[in-house]
Amino acid sequence: MQGRPESEPTSWLWQANIHGEKAENPGPNPEWNNCPHGGWFFLPWHRAYILCFEEIVRDVIQNELDGPDDWALPYWNYTRVTNGDPDSPESLECRRLPSAFRSPVWPDEEGDNPLFLAEPDRSPGAALGAPIGWTEVNPYKAMQAPRFTGVTQFGSEYTDSHLLHSNGQSGLLEMQPHNLIHGYVGGVMSQFFSPRDPIFWLHHANIDRLWAAWIASNSGHKNPTDADWLGFTHTFRNAQGNQVRFKSEDLQSEEALGYVYESLTDGVGLKPPERLVAMLAAGVDPPPQQVAATSGPTDLGPDALAVPLTPEPSARAEALPEAASPQTPNRAILTMDDVRADAPPQTNYRVFVGARPDHEEDLDPEGPYFIGHVHFFGAVGDNTHHHGGGGLTFKFDITEHLTELRQLGVWDGEGIPLVVVTPAPLGPPPPDAGEEARALAAVPTPPPGSRPRIGSISLSTT
């Protein structure tokens, strides 16, 4: 497939371009650049996408390589946990980029491995086998969501068009683990032409499996019944290169489409600390009143970065402590706008409020200061403008978080708690890894020129 010309619908590049094309060379084909992110068509569109891709690969295997006619696309179960311990050697192994994708040569050392990508097309840590952290992949919150539709629910928000390429307001499954896996693998995977990396297909097979697992886990879990969702048509190409069309209602059951997963109960998450905050929709009702903000962009790097927020002169001094009081209905909202990078930063970032950047114990993602993640999937270089224009926006409801900080005596209600942003460290590399891999596993370092940044950070109350 990689050797076929881009103009052939069954070629590797045509199939990747369906999702997203390289921004510096956009083509006029209406079947390209159609990936829906940050909207409720995310799951059915990608299910049809990997289904047709699997059919094309199986046809090549059977008819050109004399292989089996029952070949199926594998899934990368990075959410699997053995013996209830996400840090067990077996669990860590599941969260490494699979070994077949890390070797530049075939197992017999004869010829180049087409599953392999070198730097900068993959992040150094992932390429060398350092695992992504459990905090970044745990799908528990998504799997426990009662409804499909909504930013704080399993799927993503209602959209009147499937061509919503990402606005930072993804649903729970799309946010974690989907977006964070894209950021962990980095390079090609952190951009909308991510299907050029072969690991994309195994990643999305696992996301598709988690959708099937969510439906199977609870009789109350239902797909949308809205006619706008059920009747929307998704167009792809089959093994013969002909157009095939699916409505979302045709894509609700993997079994009806002719495939099943090995397990719908393995790797569905572990309960995290109760106090983790929720992602919010872009619109908060009533309109928020800004209490404090940064004065300009915040450049991120390899170290924990303390970001002070300057109080708004017109803001009431009592606004924030009132929001942090259980006796009031007020909410405190932290917003990060225009999150973007000039090149893949090869890392995700963790966000803390009230932490001390020089105290390692404060930067524990299961501790009282952690509020969530930011990533750069779809917000890298020209790719950002090619798919919608602006950088990403992240909103966190930190009301209960501030209440807990007061109860712990960390914040007395005076002033603005410090915001701290730090790269998400990776786990230990494989036992046989060399010194280079061990160094990369400690803290991912954004490559020169990547300039990951946050345009503005603000704290508001409602």
Alpha-carbon Rg for the chain, nearest whole angstrom, is 22
pLDDT at 273 over 80: no
Residue 436 pLDDT: 67
Q: And the tokens for 43?
A: 């799951």
Q: Which residues contact 262 (CB under 8 A, 6 or more apart)?
A: none
Average pLDDT over residues 109-121: 92
Average pLDDT over residues 279-297: 76
pLDDT at 434 over 50: yes
| Mean per-residue pLDDT of the chain | 90
Q: And the tokens for 347?
A: 């890392």
Alpha-helix residue ranges (DSSP H) falling in 95-138: 124-127, 134-137
pLDDT at 385 over 50: no
Q: What is the pLDDT of residues 320-364, one digit of tens each?
A: 999 888 888 899 999 999 999 999 999 999 999 999 999 999 999
Average pLDDT over residues 375-394: 74
Q: What is the pLDDT of residues 403-422, one digit of tens each?
A: 999 888 889 888 999 999 99
pLDDT band at 196 (very low <50, low <70, confident <90, very high): very high
More confident residue, 388 or 254: 254
Average pLDDT over residues 96-120: 92
Name the residue with tokens 């167009």: 235
Q: What is the pLDDT of residues 134-168, one digit of tens each?
A: 999 999 999 999 999 987 899 988 876 655 555 54
Percent of the chain predicted with pLDDT > 70:
90
Sheet holding 419-423, edge to edge: 305-307, 419-423, 349-353, 370-374
More confident residue, 275 or 196: 196
- Of these ranges, 51-65, 394-408, 434-448, the one predicted with the greatest mean pLDDT is 51-65
Residue 168 pLDDT: 47
Assigned superfamily of 12-251: Di-copper center containing domain from catechol oxidase (1.10.1280.10)
Residue 361 pLDDT: 93
pLDDT band at 387 (very low <50, low <70, confident <90, very high): very low
Of 251, 245, 253, 226, whose CA–CA distance to 157 is shortest?
A: 226
Q: What is the pLDDT of residues 15-43, one digit of tens each?
A: 999 999 886 555 678 899 999 888 899 99
Residue 328 pLDDT: 87
Q: Where are the domains of the chain?
A: 12-251, 278-461
The structure's pTM equals: 0.93
Give dist(CA 49, CA 27) in Å, integer.
Answer: 20
Give dist(CA 419, CA 412) in Å, integer.
Answer: 16
pLDDT at 234 over 50: yes
Give dist(CA 168, CA 284) in Å, integer.
Answer: 15
- Quick check: 202 and 74 in contact, CB under 8 A? yes
pLDDT at 7 over 50: yes
- Quick check: 112 and 86 in contact, CB under 8 A? no
For 360, the 3-state DSSP assignment is helix
